[in-house]
Structure 1
């Protein structure tokens, strides 16, 4: 079973502007597959002085928890400088009864990274403005609010990736938390075998309300249950 918070995407060659810091929030999401709720994800952004922590924990529930024991933890920490966020440390840990995958790295400078993926260590030189996958979500919130281009560079699994998204227009959707008018986006994948669509609500400062990811015939949905 896949319990993934999939805000994956594609980032382009120009370094993006630093994200303006969103307000602190807490949110919970239902994760479903084949129309059945398989897990719950809790997300939170908090500030402690001049630092931020954005964390998401996804856990299987019900029968899925018994069968898989699936847990996914993703966390981005860094500095809040004036109104901007500067990522410093990232952890992605996906664990169940069959596997234990971990991706972790630290920005030692604005353009240098030390990390490890699947127990293999690496050092990389990266462009200024490179993001981790969690910080990408916070940057996307600011980009939509200020009408910026949706092109980024992201470090994931020891590789620098280009991420691109495109707007599909506005759509009002119903999720467990209620009805929201959303900006609908599509991740520009390199092949047609994967499709990722996101809905972000201006009413919630462009927080993610729903994600739908389709791959290998499977559809995984993440839908907002509560936001504060």
Structure 2
């Protein structure tokens, strides 16, 4: 379930033939604070809930939180809840993380903190297990969600690659646009763009549907495991964001 939620941060990209859908809705690309709740299904069963919360404590600062909680039948085997928080600055149109924290509680208790020292050009985990060199544009894996939404809202088009500091390395995420689709959710019906994350050498697949009307917030995410198990996450509630 956590993988499904993280998939939202795996990429959004427009190509030139999406100009009609995005149109003037790109506006300034300024993302408003919001809180979004998602419901996660495996087949016909509700198996979890997820939350996104984006805040602007100061004009040049952000806080973005992703949380998950199991529900229903899956809770019998998987009782862990997770929370991930990215905090940092907004420099022009770039999200620049300063601190990322991951916490897992339940049957397994884990936590990890990453620190981004831009003056020194280093990112490291607080435990001191690893350190990597930083360059402009590197993100943590959570705030990538917001960076992608902002890129689309500003009309940045074409296939894209994002660099993410994670587990002692700088990973690259590649994304491909696959079409447009109308998606129904409990919040409303939206015209969306659909993309897939490109994973070379892997049979796992993640698909995301993002709504230009909601500043390109993902309204549906599907993740297919190697064994064919499919999880679907659908927007269930939204606060603080008005349609464009």
Please classify the TM superposition score into its range, dividing by the shorter chain length.
0.7 to 0.9
> In proportion to residue count, which structure has more helix?
2
Q: Matched residues in 2 for 1:204 and 1:6: separation? A: 19
| 1:114-143 Cα distance to aligned partner (Å, 9 max, x none) | 215xx6621111322101111111111122
What is residue 163 of structure 2 aligned with on the other side? Answer: 153
Partner of 1:133: 141
In the other structure, the counterpart of 2:6 is 6
Calculate the aligned-residue CA RMSD, in Å: 2.1
Structure 1 CA distance, aligned partners of 2:82 and 2:141?
14
- 8 Å CA contact 2:10–2:145 kept in 1: the answer is no
Give the unaligned 5+ runs of structure 2.
Answer: 12-28, 240-244
Bigger shift: 140-149 or 176-185?
140-149
CA contact (8 A) 2:95 2:139 kept: no
Deviation, 1:101, is 4.1
Residues 134, 126 of structure 1: alpha-carbon distance in 2 compared, 3 angstrom cutoff: same
- Tell me, yes or no, if structure 1 residue 189 matches structure 2 residue 199: yes
Query: What is the DSSP-based 3-state SS (H/G/I as helix, E as strand, rest coil) of the residue aligned with 1:130?
Result: coil
Matching residue of 1:40:
49
Structure 1 segments unaligned to the other structure (5+ residues): 11-19
Number of matched pairs: 215
Structure 2 counterparts to residues 103-118 of structure 1, below 5 A: 103-109=112-118, 111-115=121-125
Q: How far does the alpha carbon of each residue in 1:126-167 deviate from its partner, in whole angstroms, 9 at most, with x for none?
A: 322101111111111122221244211111233211111011
How far residue 173 of structure 1 moved from its aligned partner, in angstroms, is: 1.2
Tell me the SS of whatever aligns to 1:155: strand
Q: Is the 8 A contact 2:210 2:216 kept in 1?
A: yes
Q: 2:150 — aligned with what?
A: 142
- TM-score, structure 2 as length reference: 0.80
Could you tell me the TM-score, scaled by structure 1's length?
Answer: 0.85
Contact 1:175–1:223 (8 Å) recurs in 2: yes
* Contact kept in structure 2, 1:3 and 1:70, CA below 8 Å: no
Match of 1:226 in 2: 237
**How far apart, CA to CA, are the structure 1 residues paired with 2:166 and 2:104?**
14
Q: Distance in 2 between matches of 1:71 and 1:131?
A: 24
What is the CA distance between 1:31 and its match in structure 2?
1.2
Match runs of 1:15-164 below 5 Å: 21-49=30-58, 50-82=60-92, 84-97=94-107, 99-109=108-118, 111-115=121-125, 121-145=129-153, 146-149=155-158, 150-164=160-174
Deviations 1:30-84 (A, max 9, x none): 0122331111111110111132110011111234335422211111110134554
Match of 1:15 in 2: none
Structure with greater strand percent: 1
